Structure 1
Amino acid sequence: MTGRVEELRSIDQAIRRSGGVKGVVLAGASGVGKTRLARGALARAAEQGMATRWVVASASARGLPLGAFAGLLATVGEDPAQVLRQGVDAVLAGAGGGDVVVGVDDAHLLDELSALLVQQLALHKAVILVATVRTGEPVADAVSALWKDGYLTRLDVPALSEPDTGALLHAVLGGPVDSASVARMSALTRGNTLFLRHLVGGELEAGRLHAVGGMWRWSGDVALTPGLAELVEARMGRLSKRVRDVVDVLALGEPLDAGLLAQLTAAAAVEEAEARGLVSVERDGRGLRTRLAHPLYGEVRRAGIGTLRGRRLRGRIATALARTGGGSSDDMLRRAVLSLDSDLEPDPALLTAAAGYAVQLFDLPLAERIGRAAVAAGGGFQAQMTVVAALNGLCRYSEVEVEWAALTALAGTDTERVRATVAQVHYLMWLAERPAEAAAVLDAAEDRVREDAARLQLIAIRAYLEAGLGHPARAAQAGAMALAWPGLPDESVTLASCGLVAALAALGGVDELGPAAANGRMAAARSPELAFLHVPLMGWQVHGLRLAGCVHEALAVATECRETTKGVAFAVELTNILLAEAELARGQVATALRLLREARAGLEGAGNAAGFLYFCLLSTTRGLAVSGDRVAARRSLEELEAQQHPALLILQPEMLLTRAWVAAAEGAVSEAVALAQEAAEVAASRGQLAHEVLALHAAVCLGDGSVADRLADLATRVGGPRASAAAAQAAALAAHDGDALLAASAHLEQLGDLLAAADSAAQAAVAYTRHHRSGPAKAAAARAHRLAQLCDGARTPALAVATRPLPLTAREREIVTMAAHGLSNREIADRLVVSVRTVEGHLYRAATKLGTSSRAELGTLIHHDRAVIPPPRARVRRSQ
């Protein structure tokens, strides 16, 4: 809470009376936290041994002379001068001659005599004042003179900013709150601390504000508690009938043109509502738009409007909007929403168009509601398509099955039948996780369709299907075939581009990624209802850039995706995953894990989220493993294995690599190398050369120099800088060439892959040590340490060896490390597929070299972290 910290510092400076100032006046709107800040200042003064007094002015005590100070004064004389002297003496009593800090809350409510007493206290050398006043309220001259005449410093306390709101929520809830929830609460309360406190309390009690995986998230619609409603009503004040009408019309239909609002109510009433601060007026082009001055005013009033009156008012507003000819999509949507709960007859054309626009805005619950009303009113195929799209986006898959039958029955033309098929394939592939059924539906449709235009639309979705199933060459061919036709609809262009970009990412065609993705994005931009496809399209581009080693470019595209998809359903969560993938590629482990935790919390209830949960868990598990948190990494891996998406076989090499990093974190380095090699074999068998490069580079970082020749060959066939950088590191590792490993480290650092750069520097330290070059070895180890710190203190096997060089073979160190993690000799033997006698022999030789016979001391020599891990299963080769 940077802003509040600065305010506290300012108050403390004022209390220290620098420059003769005798205290501070905190001015601000109701509920911004003035009282809390003032009480905090007095508490800190008391901790420093100063005497403190606290008085509260109120409207009820305003009619009594010295009403605010009644608790300090036993008796009050009749002479005003005598009364003021008595008041000062009462405040100073018991202070022992030291300073007294006096807090005066709501000083704008002081009666005249109390205000004069406060002024007298400000003049006294032993008194420091901390007063609060509410802005916009009349203040006695004696009080306003305190800052105008320079006796006190005035500090204006603003409403909480969004970052301050997030920090306060974090402090109160004891954990981080996802950014979408923070933004929503900040917007609803407008930074009012008092409103925020009541809102949080109510939502906690209702269970809508809850923790998911260590991240707090607010879901569902707000329901004001009686206490919060009373606070808001008190702030609004008493509403006359005509002002209430203005507020209620805006509560149901804001924003409204000022002239239209005056027609629906009365011009004088609108002016009065504005003068009272209930309505805000903003210039919008050449007109004026009116809104309620605070979002909670609408929440309170909507709860208080009766059913019949509400239906009548909504009908009047919708009719007025139609009469004035407001042609904007927003006005059209508001007319439809208002008509749903009004006394008007349903208009199927209006409802169908509005439901489609709601899908574009990704307000999917609203799209479903309007779409179902449109279907009931006779909206036909397009209305039903909207219902299906909304249910898909809401992950209510069990209901989608019922709606497909209705959609098929409504499809009366070949065009509609192809559209329904494409939508069904997309649903079966990504959402229902039934790719075999998706392929069967697509095959059947291709057999029925004879027109080239229709067939090409089916080929476009096939490109995406083939890419996901790990057939990148077929996907690239299908995508290129579909995109070659100039008349391809925008939806098909976008889907074909998704398949082509995913295929190019796997094939290593990084130079073609940008143009292919740009083509799809242009098509999606022409059709707002396709905005949701921006995320997978740019996601595959980020993935391909990361595979190729274009780390900085990957982060730039992920950041652009965040900006491009604002307002899309789950956009924050999904783009967090893309940003985390890019940050993890840069070695920013803690940043990536924070983004992934927030994404995971936001995807609660969304199932596998069309495979994005699988992406999220892949990155999370890898991040936990390289951070050194082997226990959490193992748990995450188990969840990941349970969430594998059958339509994302293209990621099988990534899955094997993730298992490799978890094994490495647990000390089973030889197993990790074998898993990385297996990942490379799977990738090579499918032509996923970019994935093969990544897998072999991981094997190199884990200490395998045997893949240098294969990487050198791939460097001539795969685009992007990773292949050549990995080949150079592998060749240097195979030759035990410290200078070449340092050069490889410098190159990887330049590319932005800090973690691989750290590993290469650590390997250089070992190579120098092997050649008895202690000076360069120390310098290389220092470089590795510096790079590891830039990676949030990441820990990998290479870094562990460089950090704690010991006279052990790789196998001895591996076995000692696993023993230090709590595994028995039998468990180690099962893990490494060796005999128990072999394990015992290695432990004996390691103990002899290190001069100890204690298993515990061996662990201490390896590392300080003694967390125990569960015995893993013996490794077996897996195929999907």
Structure 2
Amino acid sequence: MAASRQWPFVGRADLLSRVVELVDADTHVVLNGAPGVGKTRLAAEVAAVFSGRGVNVHRIVASPAGSPVPLAPFAALVGNAVGSEAVQAARVALGANGRAGAGDPVLLVDDVHLLDDASATVLQQLLAGGHVRMVATLRNTAAATVGVPAAVDRLRHEAGVAHVDVTPLADDHIVSMVERALAAPLDGRGRRLLVEAAAGNPMYARELVEGSLAAGVLAGHAGVYSFHGDLTATPLLEEVVLARLAPLTGSHRTTLELLTIGGSLPYSLVERAVGFEALEELERSGIITAAVGSDGRPQGIDVAHPLYRELTRARLGALARMRIYRTLADTEAAAAGTHERSPAQRLRRAVWCVRGGVELPEHELLDAASHAVAAGDVPLATELAEEAHRATGSAAGAMMASWCAGQMGRHDDAVRFLRDALPQETDPWARAAMRLRIAEELWWTGRTEEGAATLADADAEPGPWTALIDAQRGMHHMLVGDLPQAVTISTPLMAHEHVWVRFVATLAYTLASIYSDRATDAIEASNAFLATVGDGDTRLLGDPNQHLAVQLVALAQSGDLATASAFAEVAYQETMRQPSIQARGWAAMLAGQAAELSGRLGDAARFLAEAEQLWASVDVPGFATWCGAGLARTQAELGAADEAADTLARLRRYVRPGMLLNEHLVHIAEAWVAVARSDRAAAAETLMTALDRSTRGGQWANVAETWHEAARLDVLDLLPGADGWQRPAGALAAARFDMVSARRTGDARGMEAAGSAFESMGALLYAA
């Protein structure tokens, strides 16, 4: 509950020290800053310092509601006194007599610009009499300086008053404040969304979190909080922000609506729609900002704070949004004329037309959808591709719409789009690709028999295109954990003349090679494919970045964990800017694995919890299981065995018959929980199951990991078969072998050497 949540004071330690020093020097302080930036909280922290010394501290609050009532803020100090008697009464109440042992009293004045004339006069005379130190807050907006009492204005400019600017908090301080209040981390995208919406304003961040929690938009999963929908403001925040926006009408309101729906817009487009005068007035009032080019002319227009956009959008109905999109589309068409549009401009126009009810040709919609995919905005690509599919029902539209829907977890829709379009397609390569995609969607969701039957249907149309079907069969063997068969099928197909075949076959081969303890071969094959792909378009078969993800896994297995970790972190930070769920799932999964190996278990738990939730949200239970198993092991390593057991219980609900490659991770996590509960026999039994399954599938990297975990859990004495285990070729697997061998024989030097090998490759979790 919000009432019990403690919001910490962060990012202002140096500023707090500075203000305290000024007050100690008998200097009055005025804290200047925007609404919600933290002036009142800083003043409260100053008060706490002096109260802790035994200094008498009193706070008065000026407000719009109380300002018409003379002396209302001073009522508790002066009672019914007025004029000079009010000043004397206040001095007595404060103890401003120069005899206070702990120091002169401190008077906090919140929103000093809102004081009524009588209160402002009392304050000025009270300070002029000495033995009172003031800390006041003052909004630095243009509106706040209008109508300020003359006494306050004179006070602001007196020699003994220091003005201290309270600036927006840095992004990392906003995140720290929120995560400390939640007592749990946000996921990567949640951090990004929050810092962008708050824009350094701690009150905005707090009220967005409280509002989103109350609305169920912000929720925790395995100790990590994520936003599921638009951030929701509390009524307090809405009141604060909308007070500035509600009075806008006419072209001023139109400007705000255009920027709300269209985002940051070119100056020329907005001026064409609303005229110059409205823009100038809105800029002067701080509602919008203009980005200026090197020639000094305005280039772009945007709202001054992201919340202006978010709260305005929340109040626009469906018809209003359609009207605004249509206005944007019409204005852009008139402005662009016959000029060639960039890909980003074509995407923007397509969105405005689709949402404004303006028809576009299919090729423009599919071009825009492809650009959205490249930009990492799969939800937007899905909207555009489905519009193209609805308009024409073509195979091209079906392929794009299917791929996008699958990325969003709508696997049944993805299959339906393709099955509806398959009878109309005459190109045998396209028909093979469509069947591949249908089988893939079925395989991801555990319908392996139906997926295999779909591939079998393609055998009735023999030709060179069946190589694409064979490549997908290699992928299925890899995913189910039959690595020798995956390598056998995919190896000759990596040299096929068609880029689609090479794309799928290389994925199957490289992943099978990594887990077969041939990571170097995987990297070479992946590099060879990327060098020959040229202009070939593989996006309808899968994300081209999958090959980069594969290389990161291979780098870690080959012992170059430092490079793998660095690239995983960069990829994570980049994808957290994107709406694409699967892209974020890949990035979080890889970042979690790298963090665990590096010994950063807290980070690993956050990444893996995030990855599990992302994969589960798009109904890819195999990857969700792999991430959840890594999370459970990490939780157990951190001493949270009960949490690890809860995670394992959740994983049992995932149906994953076609995704058994890394099933050993589940057994390893079960073993960690069993040891935590003092059941070594159960740990050994589940690890033996993992060893048997991994050995039958030729998963030698997984065999090495399982033996190593047995050594870490000190159950090697309960497991037979280690004598027949051959030293692997990969650097990481070989170090695991050396550590296990040294542990079995009690070879202290061998253990030290293995630890040094782990340390040299950055696997600090094992080096300790």
Match of 1:533 among 523, 540, 543: 543
1:860 paired residue number? none
The alignment status of 1:131 with 2:136, answered yes or no, reads yes
Return the offset for 1:223: 5.6
Structure 1 residues 69, 672: closer, same or farther in 2, change over 3 A? closer
Partners of 1:645 and 1:631 lie apart in 2 by 24
Structure 1 residues 519, 24: closer, same or farther in 2, change over 3 A? farther
1:471 paired residue number? 482
- Map Cα deviations across residues 81-122 of structure 1 (whole Å, 9 max, x no partner): 787566545544699735211111112334566555545555
Return the offset for 1:215: 2.7
Contact 2:564–2:594 at 8 Å: present in 1 too?
yes
Contact 1:593–1:623 at 8 Å: present in 2 too?
yes
- Map Cα deviations across residues 112-133 of structure 1 (whole Å, 9 max, x no partner): 6655554555555532221111
Structure 1 residues 262, 561: closer, same or farther in 2, change over 3 A? closer
Contact 1:468–1:649 at 8 Å: present in 2 too?
yes
2:47 paired residue number? 42
Match of 2:109 among 81, 104, 108: 104
Partners of 1:378 and 1:309 lie apart in 2 by 28
Residues 427-446 of structure 1 aligned to structure 2 (within 5 Å): 427-430=441-444, 432-446=445-459
Question: 3-state SS of the aligned residue for 1:533?
Answer: coil
Question: 3-state SS of the aligned residue for 1:319?
Answer: helix
Structure 1 residues 38, 527: closer, same or farther in 2, change over 3 A? farther
Contact 2:694–2:700 at 8 Å: present in 1 too?
yes
Which structure's CA Rg is the greater one?
1
Contact 1:21–1:150 at 8 Å: present in 2 too?
no
Partners of 2:355 and 2:701 lie apart in 1 by 55
Structure number with higher relative contact order (C-alpha < 8 Å, ≥ 6 residues apart): 2
Counterpart code for 2:177: L
Partners of 2:598 and 2:328 lie apart in 1 by 54
Contact 2:599–2:765 at 8 Å: present in 1 too?
yes
Counterpart code for 1:50: V
2:29 paired residue number? 24
The alignment status of 1:496 with 2:508, answered yes or no, reads no
Return the offset for 1:24: 3.1
The alignment status of 1:366 with 2:380, answered yes or no, reads yes
Residues 65-80 of structure 1 aligned to structure 2 (within 5 Å): 68-74=73-79
Contact 1:574–1:612 at 8 Å: present in 2 too?
no
Residues 139-288 of structure 1 aligned to structure 2 (within 5 Å): 151-222=160-231, 227-236=236-245, 238-283=247-292, 288=299
Partners of 2:639 and 2:210 lie apart in 1 by 37
Partners of 1:729 and 1:582 lie apart in 2 by 20
Match of 1:320 among 312, 327, 331: 331
Contact 2:556–2:732 at 8 Å: present in 1 too?
no
- Map Cα deviations across residues 607-652 of structure 1 (whole Å, 9 max, x no partner): 3x35221111221222234344444434433433443622222224
Partners of 2:312 and 2:642 lie apart in 1 by 51
Partners of 1:543 and 1:519 lie apart in 2 by 17
Question: 3-state SS of the aligned residue for 1:102?
Answer: strand
Residues 843-854 of structure 1 aligned to structure 2 (within 5 Å): none
Structure 1 residues 186, 564: closer, same or farther in 2, change over 3 A? closer
The alignment status of 1:391 with 2:438, answered yes or no, reads no
Q: Structure 2: 5+ residue runs without aligned partners?
A: 1-5
Partners of 2:759 and 2:696 lie apart in 1 by 31
Question: 3-state SS of the aligned residue for 2:662?
Answer: helix
- Map Cα deviations across residues 40-85 of structure 1 (whole Å, 9 max, x no partner): 433453344322222223456656775643553345666xx78756
Return the offset for 1:136: 3.0
The alignment status of 1:686 with 2:697, answered yes or no, reads yes
Counterpart code for 1:597: A
1:746 paired residue number? 756
Contact 1:112–1:140 at 8 Å: present in 2 too?
yes
1:873 paired residue number? none
- Map Cα deviations across residues 288-316 of structure 1 (whole Å, 9 max, x no partner): 11112222323344455576665444323
2:569 paired residue number? 559
Question: 3-state SS of the aligned residue for 1:72?
Answer: helix
Structure 1 residues 731, 278: closer, same or farther in 2, change over 3 A? closer
Partners of 2:457 and 2:319 lie apart in 1 by 52
Structure 1 residues 195, 638: closer, same or farther in 2, change over 3 A? closer
Question: 3-state SS of the aligned residue for 2:756?
Answer: helix
- Map Cα deviations across residues 457-496 of structure 1 (whole Å, 9 max, x no partner): 334333322211223233234433333135414xx54433
Residues 508-587 of structure 1 aligned to structure 2 (within 5 Å): 508-519=517-528, 529=539, 533=543, 536-563=546-573, 565-566=575-576, 567=578, 568-587=580-599
Partners of 1:627 and 1:226 lie apart in 2 by 40
Contact 1:65–1:114 at 8 Å: present in 2 too?
yes
Counterpart code for 2:170: S
Contact 1:494–1:520 at 8 Å: present in 2 too?
yes
Structure 1 residues 586, 531: closer, same or farther in 2, change over 3 A? farther
Contact 1:352–1:383 at 8 Å: present in 2 too?
yes
Partners of 1:740 and 1:309 lie apart in 2 by 72
Residues 620-699 of structure 1 aligned to structure 2 (within 5 Å): 620-643=631-654, 645-669=656-680, 671-673=682-684, 675-699=686-710
Contact 1:26–1:133 at 8 Å: present in 2 too?
yes
Structure 1 residues 682, 714: closer, same or farther in 2, change over 3 A? farther
The alignment status of 1:350 with 2:364, answered yes or no, reads yes
Return the offset for 1:221: 2.9
**Structure 1, 101-110 or 307-316: larger mean CA deviation:** 307-316
Q: Name the Cα RMSD after superposition.
A: 3.7
Contact 1:587–1:753 at 8 Å: present in 2 too?
yes
Question: 3-state SS of the aligned residue for 2:106?
Answer: strand
Contact 2:687–2:710 at 8 Å: present in 1 too?
yes
The alignment status of 1:336 with 2:350, answered yes or no, reads yes
Structure 1 residues 346, 685: closer, same or farther in 2, change over 3 A? closer
Partners of 1:734 and 1:446 lie apart in 2 by 52
Contact 1:360–1:530 at 8 Å: present in 2 too?
no
**Structure 1, 519-528 or 462-471: larger mean CA deviation:** 519-528
Question: 3-state SS of the aligned residue for 1:277?
Answer: coil
1:792 paired residue number? none
Structure 1 residues 664, 134: closer, same or farther in 2, change over 3 A? same
Structure 1 residues 657, 603: closer, same or farther in 2, change over 3 A? closer
Structure 1 residues 309, 693: closer, same or farther in 2, change over 3 A? closer
- Map Cα deviations across residues 799-821 of structure 1 (whole Å, 9 max, x no partner): xxxxxxxxxxxxxxxxxxxxxxx
Structure 1 residues 525, 554: closer, same or farther in 2, change over 3 A? farther
2:435 paired residue number? 421
Question: 3-state SS of the aligned residue for 1:682?
Answer: helix
The alignment status of 1:589 with 2:601, answered yes or no, reads yes
Question: What percent of counterpart residues are identical?
Answer: 26
Partners of 1:212 and 1:363 lie apart in 2 by 24
Structure 1 residues 124, 486: closer, same or farther in 2, change over 3 A? farther
2:472 paired residue number? 461
- TM-score of the two chains, using structure 1 as the length reference: 0.75
Counterpart code for 1:587: G
Counterpart code for 2:596: L
The alignment status of 1:615 with 2:626, answered yes or no, reads yes
2:419 paired residue number? 405
Return the offset for 1:318: 0.5
Partners of 2:542 and 2:289 lie apart in 1 by 34
Partners of 1:101 and 1:56 lie apart in 2 by 14
- Map Cα deviations across residues 330-388 of structure 1 (whole Å, 9 max, x no partner): 33233233223436345444334334433444444433433333333226222223332
Return the offset for 1:742: 3.3
Partners of 1:524 and 1:677 lie apart in 2 by 46
- TM-score of the two chains, using structure 2 as the length reference: 0.85
Counterpart code for 2:43: A
Structure 1 residues 639, 141: closer, same or farther in 2, change over 3 A? same
